[in-house]
Chain A
Amino acid sequence: MIQYNKFTLDNGLRVLIHEDHSTPMAVVNVLYDVGAKDENPNQTGFAHLFEHLMFGGSINIPDYDEPLQRAGGENNAYTTNDLTNYYCQLPAENLETAMWLESDRMLSLAFGKKSLETQRKVVCEEFKEHYINKPYGDVWAKMRALTYSVHPYQWMTIGKELSHVENATLDDVKNFFKKHYCPANAILVIAGKVDTDKALELSNKWFGSIPSGEKYVRNLPQEPVQTAAKELEIKADVPLDALVKAWHIDSRLEHGYYVADLITEVLGGGGSSRLFQKLVKEKQLFSNLDCYHFGSIEKGLLAIEGKLVKGKSVQEAEIAIDEELQKIMTEKISEEELQKVKNKTESVIAFEDMALMSRANSLAMYELLGDATMMNTELEKYQAITTDDILKYSKLIFNKNNSNTLRYLSNN
């Protein structure tokens, strides 16, 4: 049970404070309700590029990192298709430095030309390092484009292509800031060895006077229900054939999301999971195989991907996957198998909640979803899932018409 108090400042900023006096540290987490899904299709990668620029100096503070490091703190940030999250951890005595830094960059950035020029290059190198200069690095760029015909989940947070990042202008940066970076679109979490009253006072002091800004109302094109299987085959300079399959699943708050989460565990969670045992160990069709989902807020994807053992054909591998999917679509799993994946989930949640940073992050995330109290009721939602649910949702998800297949073949 994670205890916290929630406040809303006059400018609309939501503030959540979680006290934990067993740690000497404090965490300040600022989540902005903007992700790659909010980008213009011709300017993808922008939310992430912007995240880099948030470290390029704010209106009153030329350098973000230095004062934080001087206070003994460290920080980082990440961008997903759904959101952008900034967090810093520092000795609790120096909490105010983090409040000062985070509030100033919510107030306004410095918008330096040099910072934009450098970070464009840095992000291009990040793009190359992770997605171009790695075998199979473009698999998910291709898969997203295949699976989503209209929804902006069709591109990755790094962007569709290098040129989108290279062409970003300072005006684009300013407009993006104005639209998304303001109290109305942010959630502040303060956690650790802090006193709630004092932390609230500091929140008012540093964030209270920032103009509220306009609440960004999202109106994204919704992905129509997929009505026919989609397939793509490509050849690339890679040593092994790979097979990637994906199916649309329910959005984050729907019951079907929780069921899909357990289905991925049954199929691909750990050494006793069905796909690993059948396809890697018994049939030896794959040298590695994963089954997971993206945890997206809107309707996301469940994926199975693996690399084939040399000499095995993609057709054989697909048939074998289909056999396993048929099984889970037609036969109820045993109560024991269901209990196994529930136990796993209980354990995952307990380990996640160990780190202060992770707790602060989860509070912000659940508040974004609508209500931070959901953090304490997640496990119940998993506990309520039945073997009938697994059967019902397996049929819905693994319906042929809902499937997307990428055959990523070696041209050697």
Chain B
Amino acid sequence: MLNRTTQPHITEPTEFNLHLKPYQHYVLDNGTNVYAVEAGEQEVLSLELVFNAGNWYEEKNIIAASTNFLLKNGTNSKTAFEINEHFDFYGAYLNRSCYSETATITLHCLSKHLHHLTPVVTTLITDAVFPEKELAIYKQNQKQKLEVNLKKCDFVANRLIDEYLFGFHHPYGRYTSTIDYDAVDRESIVDFYKKYYTHGNCKIFIAGKLPVGYDKILNESFGKLPFNNTNLFQKEIHSAPAIEKKYNLINDVNGVQAAVRIARNFPNKHHPDFQKTLVLNNVFGGFFGSRLMSNIREDKGYTYGIYSYLQNHIHESAWMISTECGRDVSTATIDEVYKEMKILHETLIDKEELDLVRNYMLGTLLGDLDGPFQIISRWKSYILNGFTADYFNSAIKTIKTVSAEELQTLAKKYLNPDEFFELVVV
């Protein structure tokens, strides 16, 4: 008779030998570093150029993101339409993204088409012209998009909580108004472009099934560009958290839900507490089986989802609890969050729960290392944060060995309601 009540034998994920496939490293003729991971079964690849061109470097609001967005909207030789058509014809995806410290140009394509595509990527770095007409369309459409987003309580809450944590002057805390879009001018964009893209600091990450001679293709397209790959001067900007801790805002009088954000400042990934805190965060609110989720969703039904996480920034971080919950239960939700903090102060996490979290973290980590894009993405994060393979090994060791006592100490150190900002936006 089949025993359906007992879980079949499992291999404890703590016994797994997790291994991060190493990258290959090349230097192009102009000194540009290339990090490559060759893996995967499908004939596809991803190529990412990472520039030190995030909003950390802008002098005027939204110039970094605007420059990044408009890179592919016209060069000396091709219109925006012709550029799009070139990538579309090869079934390729050309995306660009702007973050706080970095800004990227990313190409996803069938491996066989790489050599047709990189020469056009090159022109985006050297020959973008930022036509006034394209800029005007961009401003008009971004302003409209912003107007729609400002109707959403979650969008408004995300902006404000970052402002409280870091200050509006800080790249992590700054956001954009329609007036800021109006003030964007072509000259500022062109200056930013020349300094941070054409003559900027660039790192290249490539992964997938890499075609024969891809290193030559990269060198031909990017190895002669006038990058300035010696370390750029890094502006120092310090966060200035708000004094007032609690905020309530009615954004939509008819709103049926409240966006709740509870957050505190937290040190960056180099801090000795960081990796251990990731484990504590998982217990607290980091996954579906966490305490916040079990209590506030699965027991009380106040929300479709509640999560906590450490923000993924380079200079400093923040510990955030985030949910959209029923308007009438927002106070009850906040009370439960603080109750869960208190329990972590007062009671040691029992072995069974902690083992479960260790297993869950290691099992999903194993899944996260599966596939070339996942591997390169982890390496990229390490390299941009100034870590080596040691960081991976120490992260695993921490998950396997951090004790309940250490986690309680961290809870006492960081999970203090008085030190958290609290924001409710209806």
Contact = CB atoms under 8 A, between A and B. Distances in A.
A37 interface: no
Interface in B347-406: 355-357, 359-360, 362-364, 366-367, 370-371, 373
A356 B42 CA distance: 11
A74 B91 contact: no
A387 interface: no
Nearest to B111: A350
> Which bracket fits the contact residues of A?
35 or more
B2 A209 contact: yes
Contacts of A206: 2
B108 A351 contact: yes
A117 interface: yes
A91 interface: yes
Contact of A24 (B141, B304, B366): B366
Contact of A239 (B11, B151, B362, B364): B151
A272 B88 contact: yes
A104 B8 CA distance: 13
B88 A340 contact: yes
Interface stretch (A126-134, A148-156, A172-180, A396-404): A126-134
Nearest to A120: B301
A262 B342 CA distance: 56
A284 B134 CA distance: 11
Given A118-B301, A240-B147, A340 B89 contact: yes
Nearest to A354: B42
Contacts of B110: 346-347, 350
B360 A74 contact: yes
A66 B363 contact: no
Contacts of B91: 343-348
A41 interface: no
A280 B136 CA distance: 12
A121 interface: yes
* Residue among A89, A129, A134, A355 with the highest chain B CB neighbour number at 10 A: A129
A71 B363 contact: yes
A410 to B, nearest CB: 10
Contact of A89 (B10, B359, B367): B367
Interface stretch (A7-15, A94-102, A366-374): A94-102
Sorting the interface of chain B by its residue count into under 10, 10 to 19, 20 to 34 or 35 or more gives: 35 or more
Given A72-B360, A355-B371, A60 B326 contact: no
Contact of B324 (A59, A97, A133, A347): A133
Nearest to A121: B301
Nearest to A282: B81
B11 A91 contact: yes
Contacts of B366: 24-25, 72, 91
Interface stretch (B56-64, B251-259, B260-268): B251-259
A104 B6 CA distance: 11
A118 B298 contact: yes
Given A22-B41, A121-B302, A340-B88, A72 B362 contact: yes
Contacts of B257: 125, 128-129, 133
A339 B351 CA distance: 59
A119 B300 CA distance: 9
B363 A90 contact: yes
A205 interface: yes
A72 B300 contact: no
A132 B256 contact: yes
Contacts of A226: none
Nearest to A353: B42
Contacts of B7: 67, 70-71, 97, 100
A293 interface: no
A71 B301 contact: no
B303 interface: yes
Interface in B289-346: 289, 297-304, 324-326
A389 B141 CA distance: 35
Contact of A118 (B9, B300, B324): B300
5 contacts: A70-B10, A121-B302, A125-B301, A287-B144, A310-B144
User: Would you list the 4 A-B pairs with minimal beta carbon distance, nearest first?
Assistant: A72-B363, A121-B301, A271-B84, A347-B91
Interface of B: 2, 4-5, 7-11, 13, 16, 40-44, 72, 80-81, 83-85, 87-93, 108-110, 137, 140-141, 144-145, 147-148, 151-153, 252, 254-257, 287-289, 297-304, 324-326, 355-357, 359-360, 362-364, 366-367, 370-371, 373
